Structure 1
Amino acid sequence: MPTITASPEQGPGFSRLISRNFSDTIGSAIRTLGRTVVLAFSSVLGACADLGSGRLQWREILTQAWRLVTVTAIPAILMAVPFGVIVSVQVGNLIHTLGADSLLGATGGLGVIKQGAPMATGFLLGGAGASAIAADLGARTIREEIDALHTMGISPVHRLVIPRMIAMVLVAPLLNVLIIFVGVVAGYLVAIGGQNVTPGSYWAAFGSFTTVADVWISLVKAVIFGFLVVMVACQRGLEAKGGPRGVADAVNASVVLSVVAIVVVNLAITQVTAMFLPTRLA
């Protein structure tokens, strides 16, 4: 059977092509990250300026916040219930093996508050919220509404980005609190119903190990995740191009990038809090 071999000239050329494509991809990713950071700084500074001058669009902020609540509240409850049950069952089996059933309230509560609730909040906002924002801004971009705003001297950041940013930052901690409440209650019901844990020991362990600092860290993480999600979604939506296909690509990219950013940032925050705020008795 004849064999096909590449000429010596094709080898280096192919390697240069792969290297060039890899360099272009890395460079494009860095430039996109830079534009997102610039958009974030512009949005924060613009929000402070609008708040100080009294030009903040409160009606638009409330409208966007209500839209986020309507698309995330019910999924948050549906996600929190199985999450609390899974944590209670899995951790309960391990604790029962060690003979420390009274600590189920502490482990289940800490798992929901410190990791489960903020991560679920970020994923919900990244899935439902980011897709809605990217689709809205992407459709405005391909219809040349953003160019029309520039022509009229209106900043798209002040008109479109800042209200969505503030709405996301306001909704994120509220959604986090809802997930904490539902998750802890679901874990409690499973613990006393299926793990034979007494209600008193469950809440005693929960109150002994869960501190106010844990709740504040959870809320701060939810706000950070919401801010990351809205900035990624706005940047992708404002840079959409190529018609309806470009809008779909912007929505897909915003969801994927939001999830990746949340996972990476959560890992960093967890490491920092574990070093400076270790778990201790309340």
Structure 2
Amino acid sequence: MTTNTENGELPLPTPAALVRKNFADTVLSSLATLGRALRMGTQAVGVGVTDALRVRFQVNETLNQAWFLIKVTAVPSVLMAIPFGVIVSAQVGNIVAQLGADSMIGAAGGLGVIKQGAPMATAMLLGGAGAAAIAADLGARTVREEVDALRVMGVDPVQRLVVPRIAAMMLVAPLLNILIIFVGIASGFVAAVTAMDVTPGSYWQSFGSFTTPVDVWVSLIKASLFGFLVVVIACQRGLEATGGPRGVADGVNAAVVMSIAAVVVLNTAITQVVTMFLPVRMA
């Protein structure tokens, strides 16, 4: 702390103290935002289950939102999966070739795409394109006071706006994950056969020897969890937008950054748990 004893003023904080304070405030604010998002997500799940049991679930709105998400993520997912599969095969192939185990490229590349690449690519696409679109839509509705109008009319915004978007995201995330797995493995196979002189038979034999249905199910579950986390953060930031267009833009930016950061942390935790209880073994 620096002081100004001549004028008898209060001590002034040092730059290091200001940095620490700002960092602590940012972390606490982010955790509080994540907590509010998860609470809203829990409420939306309860409302959605109740609506489904009472046969009043918004199926049309859910399908419309799902189709919108597919339109904005399908082509980018293919464009992302192709180079990802090639890069994984090339990097893994170079290491494996030095060990004299070229036949294991299929297993290493396939498992890399299924267990890590596809779920993370799905989360990034949904967090970048899907979350941005959802946060912008709900943020615009909020600053135009449409959400307040729904509350005045006795309509729950979570039931009307959030539940269909969560259901759509939970529907699209596994489908997008499957698409990325297929394209990534296919592109990795082409790269291994054409550039690294791996025979097609050995590639698929090693892939089938180490890849199990459990790996695919874990990948689909991870994609679904990531999709749920992305959509609840996007909805929460959109419904809390304030300050006009600038507030909507800040909400969109925060939704993308927070969703990707939360997905990375969650993926690390899930990977550790899965590796502990489901180690890689021959099928």
Distance 2:9 2:70 in 1: 57
Residue 21 (structure 1) shift: 5.2
- Tell me the residue number matched to 1:245: 246
Question: Quick one: distance in 2 between partners of 1:100 and 1:241?
Answer: 58
Which runs of 5 or more structure 1 residues have no equivalent in the other structure?
none
Task: Report the equivalent of 2:13.
Answer: 14
Q: Deviations for 1:233-270, whole angstroms, at most 9, x for unmatched residues?
A: 00000000000000000000000001101100000000
**Aligned amino acid, residue 100 of structure 1:** A
Question: Corresponding residue for 2:92?
Answer: 91
Which residue does 1:131 correspond to in 2? 132
Q: Distance in 2 between matches of 1:151 and 1:234?
A: 20
Match of 1:162 in 2: 163
Aligned twin of 2:203? 202
> 1:104 & 1:27 partners in 2: Cα distance?
44
Q: TM-score, normalised to structure 2's length? A: 0.94
Deviation, structure 1 residue 38: 1.4
1:7 deviates by: 2.2
1:11 to partner: Cα distance: 7.6
1:52 aligned partner: 53
Q: How does 1:225-244 map to 2 (within 5 A)?
A: 225-244=226-245
What letter corresponds to residue 126 of structure 1 in structure 2?
A: G
**TM-score under structure 1 normalisation?**
0.94
Change (3 A) 1:203 1:23: closer
Q: State the aligned residue count.
A: 278
Provide closer, same or farther for how the CA distance between residues 87 and 53 of structure 1 changes in structure 2, counting only shifts above 3 A.
Answer: same
Contact 2:126 2:230 in 1 (8 A): yes
Question: Cα distance, 1:50 vs. partner?
Answer: 0.6
Q: In the aligned structure 1, how far is the partner of 2:12 from the partner of 2:23? A: 14
Q: Residue 11 and residue 208 in structure 1: after superposition, are their counterparts in 2 closer, same or farther (change >3 A)?
A: farther
State the Cα distance separating 1:168 from its structure 2 match. Answer: 0.2
Structure 1 counterpart of 2:13, one-letter code: F
CA RMSD of aligned residues (A): 1.8
What is the rounded CA distance, in whole Å, between the counterparts of 1:153 and 1:27 in structure 2?
A: 33
- Would the aligned equivalents of 2:58 and 2:164 in 1 still touch at CA under 8 Å? yes
- SS of 2:4's equivalent in the other structure is coil
Q: How far did residue 13 of structure 1 move?
A: 3.8
SS of equivalent residue, structure 1 residue 197: coil
1:6-85 equivalent positions in 2, closer than 5 A = 7=4, 12-14=11-13, 18=18, 24-85=25-86
Q: For residues 208 and 11 of structure 1, what CA distance do their matches in structure 2 show?
A: 71
CA deviation after TM superposition for structure 1 residue 37, in Å? 1.9
- Deviation sequence 1:107-131 (CA, Å, 0-9, x none): 0000000000000000000000000
Q: Deviations over 1:11-31 (max 9, x none)?
A: 844269837656644543343
Q: Alignment partner of 1:261: what SS?
A: helix
CA gap 1:142/1:204 in 2 versus in 1, 3 angstroms: same
Following the alignment from structure 2 to structure 1, what is the Cα–Cα distance between the partners of residues 155 and 57? 14
Give 1:59 deviation, angstroms. Answer: 0.2
CA distance in 2, matches of 1:211, 1:11: 66
Percent of aligned pairs with the same residue?
62
